[in-house]
Amino acid sequence: MRILVWAWHWRQSRTIGAHCRNSKQIGLEETKLKQYDEAIAAFRKQLENWGDDYDTETALAEAYQAKGMLSEAKDALEKAGKLKKEK
């Protein structure tokens, strides 16, 4: 499965700018595969490259929670709540 995620990412990154925009999608796929460290890294990269985003923060919180990082999950959910109010 890990090779399939990599292949998908490689194919997507051939489009200009796709490698940055698709970090969130990679994180979602890694979460499905229960590869939480990779998912968290992808979500952080997405936030770093494209700024704060409610959906990405929520997905990050879910990955943290699944990994047992409850304090980080709580922080990400609080940030997501603030972002939702700003919309």
3-state SS, residue 68: coil
Angstrom CA distances, 27 to 17, 33, 73, 80, stand at 17, 10, 15, 17
pLDDT at 85 (0 to 100): 84
pLDDT at 17 (0 to 100): 46
The correct answer on CATH 1.25.40.10 for the domain covering 2-86 is yes
Cβ contact 47:56 at 8 Å: yes
Alpha-carbon distance of 82 to 31, in angstroms, equals 24
3-state SS, residue 15: coil
Domain edges within the chain: 2-86
pLDDT digits (tens, 9 = 90+) for 50-82: 999 999 999 999 999 999 999 999 999 999 999
Q: Which residue has the tokens 């919180």?
A: 61
- Specify the pTM: 0.76
Q: Identify the residue with better confidence: 45 or 7.
A: 45
Average pLDDT over residues 34-63: 95
Q: Is the dihedral of CA 36, 30, 24, 58 positive or negative?
A: negative
